[in-house]
Structure 1
Amino acid sequence: MKAILMIAVGNTDVLSLQVIAEPAISAATQIKVKLHAAGVNPVDTKVRRNGVFYAQPLPAVLGCDGAGVVTEIGSAVDKFSIGDKVWFCNGGLGREQGNYAEVTVLDQRWASLMPSNLSFTEAAALPLVLITAWGALFDRGGLQAGQTVLIHAGAGGVGHVAIQLAKLKGARVITTVSSDEKRAFVTSLGADEVVLYKPNGFADAVNQLTDGKGADLVFDTVGAAVFKESIAVTAHFGRLITLLDPGDINSTEARMRNLLIGYELMLTPMLRDLHEARDKHVEILNQCAAYIEQGLLSVHVSQIVPLEQAQLAHEAIEAGHTQGKIVLEIA
């Protein structure tokens, strides 16, 4: 089968299109999937630049997100049948094969039936960002109806689904973006107020929108500088959740505000083999599939790139300011 191999740590030129052996079912509960699309996420580029998470030799196949058709099932599989369309977040971190390939094998426990009204490219764009947004907003952030949430980078992969999930919860959503084009995009998703963070940051605008109280929950998807500025716009006794390392911070104001500060790394259950936590991830996909089929949740795929051009997808991610998601199409 064709696959994109990460043959070394480095720039995008370490991604190499090669023909490798097709994986085989090795356990009774596994399914084989003909992949039609693979989502591209920032973590893919970080693994490529910094190395895989496991002490295993390269090459490796990247890509956590996949969508395709079940073509073979193990003798104990009772969740899927041949021909089922599935989506999942599995592999791509250096141990299990990722989804930049024509075929993959995974345990049935980690897959879910695709929403019936999505294409493969749309479905492959979603698992990691849905699980991330859900965990940050609800599991770590405790967001409730009637509360105000500030979602940073609302036009991005995680941000654009986080806006929709927060609105489904009944929250008031403030989001930050970098351009008028993105303002229009996030408004179409349901954002109540939009702050252009250039050139003057966002703190003054958010505090004006909240009458100086700040947001009950702030969701940082950007990094250290945004995290630090976000302390001053998180309400007293509020929560500040980040996807990234905030670096060295002066915690005086956060302590004075009695903030709960949390981290969301949806990869932890895969990396630490926390199977019950991964079960929750599949439950999230099932619930989000219902929302999608009801027309309550959507995905924006900004670029569809052929598998053979995975380097271009990584370059686009690393250039920044991607709107929605980038997906590899697998013929």
Structure 2
Amino acid sequence: MAALPLKGLATSLVSDPKLMWEIPSMWSLEEASTVPMAYLTAYYSLMVRGRMRKGETVLIHAGSGGVGVAAIAVALSMDCKVFATVSSKEKREFLQKRFPTLMNDNFADSRDERDFEKVVRQGTQGRGVDIVLNSLALDKLQASIRCLAHYGRFIEIGKFDLFNNSDLGMEIFLKSITFHGILIDSLLQHESDEKEQVWRLLKEGTLSGVVQPLPYTIFSHEKIEEAFRFMASGKHMGKILIQIRDADGNISEIKPENQSLDQGGIINEKQDLNNNFGKVDGVTEFQEQAQEGATFEIESISANSSTVANILQNNIPRQIHAIRRTFFQPSKSYVVIGGL
């Protein structure tokens, strides 16, 4: 299994050996694919930048997401007290099943800053937490900062406030806190001691059993848009996977459904063929070639000149494919944009 800074949405990848880890024999490839980015982010955020120590208190937002589940596992392995926010009862129950030591008092509503502030205040006797792993924005980010104890560390893995240059307020630093912006792409692209440290932590975590595959929802390659919509809905727990290869390791070609080019679902083939071949002196080149006995490919079947001439003369509507060939090639990489 491996991690990449860019161009990860592909059928073939080349990765840095320093970002590769051996897959345990009992894991499937699907399970292994859920691990690298989530646990890499968790270890880098909590252990490398947050310098988490044994027995500290940690607030982890979006606890049922991939990074959230990984971060809870890492924090509990250090005997830390964990507070996690979730957006539904189902997500809380999922985490309690995966981490039986978490009680109801360890959870708060991620959509209500007053709720998680109250839970942290009561759970720490007003002291606050040592570390916040934050992915919330705007007012919820400010509330999360207020949850920090003196000398606390705020770990920001969200991007909204960073890219929008949101105000932070200098008063918060009177508590001697530190604020860390986490950009995993930057870590992966540059050589550093931190990169080596993360590689070692993830390797040791895999061997010790701290690192475990995350829950996932899998979509076939024909349902990529549905996968993105499902992710945008915020209903998933863990990771979302796109299956490109079949069980035997073969890459499947994506074949689009029959599509038409006009509103009625039928394209007038006479008009289409005229457009393709152009007009010469009021007579299409296509008609001239048809009269000479030429053969043409229409809808992947061979049509002789008399058939084509009949189509043109009688204006017979025929349905053809708007996309007549596979548009995902196994030898190329693609980025899916739009359509959401």
| Residue of structure 2 equivalent to 1:98 | 8
C-alpha displacement of 1:125: 1.0
Q: What is the CA–CA distance in structure 1 between the aligned matches of 2:198 and 2:111, rounded to whole Å?
A: 35
Distance in 2 (alpha carbons) for counterparts of 1:168 and 1:157: 17
Match of 1:3 in 2: none
1:114 aligns with 2:23: yes
Higher relative contact order, structure no. (Cα contacts within 8 Å, ≥ 6 residues apart): 1
1:261 alignment partner, one of 158, 164, 179 = 179
1:196 aligns with 2:120: no
Q: Kindly indicate whether the alpha-carbon contact (under 8 Å) linking 2:152 and 2:178 is maintained by their aligned counterparts in 1.
A: yes
Aligned partners of 1:164, 1:280: CA distance in 2, in Å?
A: 18
Structure 1 residue 218: Cα displacement: 0.9
Structure with greater helix percent: 2
**Structure 1: gaps spanning 5 or more residues:** 1-86
Cα distance between partner residues in 2 of 1:330 and 1:275: 33
Structure 1 residues 106 and 156, CA gap change in structure 2 (3 angstroms): closer
Q: SS where residue 150 of structure 2 aligns?
A: strand
Structure 1 residue 165 displacement after superposition? 0.6
> 1:224, 1:244 within 8 Å by CA — same for their partners in 2?
no
CA–CA separation in structure 2 for the residues paired with 1:109 and 1:120: 20
Compute the displacement of 1:107 (Å). Answer: 4.3
Query: Structure 1's 250 and 108: CA in aligned 2 closer, same or farther, altered over 3 A?
Result: closer
**Match for residue 262 of structure 2?**
none
Partner of 1:289: 206
Alpha-carbon distance change, 107 to 156 in structure 1, aligned in 2, over 3 angstroms: closer
How far the C-alpha of 1:277 sits from its partner, in A, is 4.2
Distance 1:276 1:297, change over 3 A: closer
What's 2:239 paired with?
325
Aligned partner of 1:137 among 6, 30, 46: 46
After the TM superposition, which residues 1-12 of structure 1 pair with which residues of structure 2 at under 5 Å, given as runs?
A: none
Question: Take 2:107 and 2:79, find their aligned partners in 1: how far apart are those partners?
Answer: 17
Alpha-carbon contact 1:156-1:325 (below 8 Å) kept: yes
Structure with bigger strand share is 1
- Max radius of gyration: which structure? 2
Instruction: Please tell me the residue identity of whatever aligns with 1:175.
Output: A
Distance 1:135 1:259 in 2: 18
Q: Which residue of 2 aligns with 1:171?
A: 80
Question: Contact 2:131–2:152 at 8 Å: present in 1 too?
Answer: yes
- CA distance, structure 2, for counterparts of residue 290 and residue 185 of structure 1: 25
How far apart in 2 are the matches of 1:277 and 1:238? 21
* Structure-2 change in CA distance of 1:330 and 1:291 (3 Å): farther
Distance 1:108 1:236 in 2: 40
Is the counterpart of residue 280 in structure 1 residue 190 in structure 2?
no
Deviation readout 1:201-241 (Å, 9 max, x if unpaired): 42122111111111011110233333211111100111111
- Structure 2 gaps of 5+ residues are 246-340
For each residue in 1:143-170, what CA deviation from the matched residue of structure 2 results, as whole angstroms up to 9, or x when unmatched?
1111111111111110011001100011
Q: Which runs of 4+ in 1 moved over 6 A?
A: none
Partner of 2:149: 235
User: 1:298 Cα deviation (Å)?
Assistant: 2.6
Asked whether the equivalents of residues 48 and 198 of structure 2 are also in contact (C-alpha less than 8 Å), the reply is no
Structure 1 counterpart of 2:215:
301
**More displaced stretch, 155-164 vs 303-312:** 303-312
Per-residue deviation at 1:329?
A: 1.9
Is 2:205–2:211's contact at 8 Å kept on the other side of the alignment?
yes
The number of aligned residues is 236
Distance 1:277 1:252 in 2: 28
SS at 1:89 equivalent: coil
In the alignment, does 2:3 pair up with 1:89? yes
Q: Deviations over 1:176-215 (max 9, x none)?
A: 1111111112223333511124454421221111111110
Distance in 2 separating the partners of 1:215 and 1:160: 19
Distance 2:136 2:116 in 1: 13
How high is the TM-score relative to the length of structure 2?
A: 0.64
